[in-house]
Amino acid sequence: MSNSYNSRDLRHKSVFGALSEGENVTFSILLPRSFSCSGASFVVRKDFGNAQRIDLFWNGITQSGNEEWWTTDYSFPSPGLYFYHFEYQIPFGTGKIYMKNSGLGEYSPSGTEWQQTVYNSDLKTPDWIKNAIMYQIFPDRFFNSGKKKENVPEDRIIHESPDEPIIWNFEERKIQNNDYFGGDLDGIIEKLPYLSSLSVTAIYLNPIFEAHSNHRYNTADFMKIDPLLGNEKTLRRLCKKASEYGIRIILDGVFSHIGSDSVYFNKEKRYGEGGAYNDLNSPYRPWFTFTRDGKYNCWWNIKTLPEANETDPSYLEFILGENGVVQKWLDCGISGWRLDVADELPDLFLDNLYSSVKRKAPDCIIIGEVWEDASNKISYGARRHYLLGNQLDSVMNYPLAEAMLRFMRDGIAEELMESIVSICENYPRQILNSLMNHIGTHDTARIITRLTNSEIEKKPRSLQAKYKISPEEYEAGKAYLKVITVLQYMLPGFPCIYYGDEAGLSGGSDPFNRACFPWGREDSELTEHYRLLGRLRSSLPCLKDGAFVPISAMLGCIAFVRESKEANCSIIVIINRNSHQIDYYLPERYKYSEELLTNTPCGEFVNVPKIGAAVVKAKYLD
């Protein structure tokens, strides 16, 4: 018996994936004629709303004569998240079809409904980001230009060498993070030729505003660059110099919380006697929530990070107003914002930030930090609408990162393919092609370590501090890393390199994932692999916004096609997680072409090395 319904089959749903508001789509179910069905319904409801029943109409029988189609046309009237299932009438009552898995339906009296994402008809993301290669820099640890630092607070510990160990202390959550290695914006300028050699087109900087920690997520002054990094003129120079290499600069916007040691809160009185903590009449007082006992709301109960009241009118004006924080740094030449903990920023704030940014710079990218499926995320009891238009252009693709990591560890290709197709189905196409595909960040252990040590992040920091990757682990991790990066570069969205991954940096969780870049001691073989992927991505226009077509996923091997008829470009990508090589039989149009990772000719088959990958370009398009 055939599938009753498959949301990923155009015979059942005429348009794959997310839909624009008002876009017409045909839904069709297939029922056995033996059911003696007398009627059927498409049952749909908007998120948290009441169900609506739409009649399905009989639409003929299959060639075998054993099954019949029931069909209706429907257009979703407004943006939002919708859920649907099907019902049918038979002589003994009402039957129902719910989702089993992978978009497939099953006959069941109850179950999981299908999700339908419906987005604003005017949804559009910046075109340049779709074929970007991003490079994330933790500024203190990238490169020290050696230029004199001025107005640096005396309570900072400055390392004399990048080889010195990181200072850490996690007792009683009193983490000072006050040791610095002196990486600066001038150092980034100096290394622009290196980044260009990786085909980098965007740099995402972890926070650079004045703050009294090396991570700078506890902002002290939104209007100043931290003195160890440089000043406003340095940032302007970085933006200008980077643009000469075709590279854009994206800043980290930390707006959900502020440092207790700041101009605005000033608990430590570094900035005089004022500030919200000390002065009931401070203009910053409404930005924070105080209780009668003198305590205050803080982010995840960390006392050095008081929470901001993001909907306070004066705070909104300060951050988003005409002369506010966001506009000031756009004027310096930046091209985007990555929003820290976007799921903790209320919709009102995100909506206003989007309109403020796009009014000033329509081509500016806005990326949200969201760790889960951003199409159906619920935070603080509310369904979020990040991807429906006028709020975010992109999110950090943590679901994909974790799915790729699991595949490299366990080799279950079917699960990886399901994760990829689910993202393709739930995310609007404009968002999908703009996703930030990372495999490691400042919030995760180093990828080469995670690939060979799945327990590293669960261990106490005291053990992580002593951990050194063995030569055997490193070589195994490097082999896996070469494979996972092929996936990262070839899937919808754009790849993001966490600084030093391409050089072979290893390490556990924060702060051990934030070591200094090993200049002069890089793994040149690994770096050259990243350069190759950068050249490939830049030369294959189908990777910008081409369709993703799953081909196969089984026995530790996954294959898919990226194709753009408009760009006359199509490739097939085969990933082999197995410890033995395979010969993969190619579809007709890829036969007798060239494997692009090794520049070797292939016949009817392409050889894919053990723990390896192959990329073959089509000789022609159908």
CATH number at residue 302: 3.20.20.80
For residue 511, whether the previous peptide bond is cis, meaning omega lies within 30 degrees of 0, is: yes
The DSSP bridge pattern shows strands 67-75 and 51-61 to be: antiparallel
**368 near 374, Cβ under 8 Å?**
yes
Question: Is 9 a domain residue?
Answer: no
| Rounded distance between C-alpha atoms, residue 278 and residue 288, angstroms | 12
Question: Is 67 a domain residue?
Answer: yes
Question: Is 622 a domain residue?
Answer: no
Same domain membership, residue 141 and residue 190? yes
Place of tokens 């009441």: 50
Same domain membership, residue 550 and residue 535? no
Same domain membership, residue 317 and residue 194? yes
Whole domain around residue 610: which residue ranges?
Answer: 546-617
Same domain membership, residue 218 and residue 181? yes
Count of domains forming the chain = 3
Same domain membership, residue 262 and residue 235? yes
**DSSP codes of every residue in 143-154:** ----PPP-S--T
Same domain membership, residue 109 and residue 31? yes
Q: Could you tell me the two tokens for 100?
A: 């089993």
Place of tokens 């990094």: 229
CA angle 169, 175, 181 (to 5 degrees): 80
Q: Could you tell me the two tokens for 65?
A: 């004569």
- Report the predicted TM-score, pTM, of the whole model to 2 decimal places: 0.97
Residue-level pLDDT at 72: 98
* H helix intervals, 411-549: 413-426, 429-432, 447-450, 461-466, 471-490, 524-539, 542-545
Q: Could you tell me the two tokens for 550?
A: 């799953």
Same domain membership, residue 356 and residue 238? yes
Same domain membership, residue 84 and residue 164? no
Question: Is 2 a domain residue?
Answer: no
Partner residues linked to 105 by β-bridges: 99
Write down which residue in 505, 539, 573 finishes a domain. 539
CATH number at residue 563: 2.60.40.1180
Helix (H, G, I), strand (E, B) or coil at 128: helix
**574 near 557, Cβ under 8 Å?**
yes
| Rounded distance between C-alpha atoms, residue 273 and residue 439, angstroms | 45
Same domain membership, residue 449 and residue 388? yes
Same domain membership, residue 341 and residue 259? yes
Q: Which amino acid is at 65?
A: G
Same domain membership, residue 77 and residue 205? no
Residue-level pLDDT at 91: 95
> Which helix (H) or strand (E) segment is 497 a member of?
strand 494-498
Helix (H, G, I), strand (E, B) or coil at 197: helix
Helix (H, G, I), strand (E, B) or coil at 439: coil
Instruction: Please tell me the number of Cα atoms within 13 Å of 327 on its side-chain side.
Output: 14
CATH number at residue 84: 2.60.40.10
Name the nearest CA neighbour of 495 among 69, 131, 100. 131
| Rounded distance between C-alpha atoms, residue 266 and residue 262, angstroms | 5
Conformation bin of residue 301: beta by default, left when phi > 0, alpha when psi is -120 to 50: left
Residue-level pLDDT at 292: 85
**375 near 345, Cβ under 8 Å?**
no
| Rounded distance between C-alpha atoms, residue 218 and residue 257, angstroms | 7
Same domain membership, residue 563 and residue 482? no
Question: Is 130 a domain residue?
Answer: no
Question: Is 173 a domain residue?
Answer: yes
Which stretches of the chain score pLDDT less than 70? Answer: 1, 170-175
State pLDDT tens for residues 470-486. Answer: 999 999 999 999 999 99
Write down which residue in 119, 145, 178 finishes a domain. 119
Residue-level pLDDT at 176: 75
Query: How many C-beta atoms lie closer than 10 Å to residue 189's C-beta?
Result: 17
Supply the angle between the helices 471-490 and 524-539 in degrees, to the nearest 10.
Answer: 10
